[in-house]
A = this chain, B = another copy of it.
Amino acid sequence: MTATVNESIRNGVDTATLFATLDAVKGAPEAARFQFRAANEWISGTHNRGTIHRYFGVGEERTHEHVFQFDADHPAVLVGRDNGPTPVEFVLHALAACLTSGLANIAAARGVRLTSVTSTVVGDIDLNGVLGLNPKVRNGYEKIAVRFTVKGDAPAEKLREIVEQSRNRSAVYDIITNQVPITIDVATD
């Protein structure tokens, strides 16, 4: 069996490490307490820049291998200069990324080899809400629709079950479909 050496690698996921991580957290649940962070600096108008680098997890302060920076802006039709996506588009990206990551992990854990996974996420929003023109209209998305195309060495039904389990264990799906409390503090000096 020439494939033995890399038998634990499936879909680019090291399943041996994945299962070892799960076992380690079972024995020390506190290791799973994470704090993620983003910083932001206003540039001009609706243009601003976010930085993602430091986080806390598995008991200590950590840094990503790179400093990630992302510009956000509004397009001209929304009185911006289109230097980056709108903030609400980053939410759609986060949702697709979260479901896709989970899908790859779950397929690997279940012994399914994926060949391709693509998705589109669309969010409908009525900007009469954020513009303050209609108090009956909410500020955020009315609804979001995700469409996955998943291919791999398993029957369609099994591929669908893997997507369903990814939804069941998705952090971003939970954040959007349920409620997360947010506090905002302001310093002015």
Contact = CB atoms under 8 A, between A and B. Distances in A.
Contacts of A176: 175-176, 179-180, 182
B97 A94 contact: no
Contacts of A159: 186, 188
Nearest to A20: B79
Interface string A1-14: 00000000001111
Interface residues of A, number: 131
A174 to B, nearest CB: 4
B95 A72 contact: no
Nearest to A41: B118
Interface in A1-53: 11-14, 17-18, 21-22, 25-26, 29, 32-48, 50, 52
Interface string A161-189: 00100010111111111111111111111
A66 B89 CA distance: 14
B183 A163 contact: no
B132 A171 contact: no
Given A40-B119, A72-B93, A176-B182, 7 more contacts: A12-B45, A36-B89, A37-B121, A41-B117, A70-B70, A139-B169, A143-B182
23 contacts: A35-B123, A36-B86, A37-B123, A38-B120, A40-B120, A42-B104, A45-B108, A62-B77, A64-B82, A72-B97, A79-B105, A87-B101, A91-B172, A102-B130, A139-B171, A140-B174, A140-B178, A145-B183, A146-B182, A146-B183, A148-B185, A149-B187, A160-B186
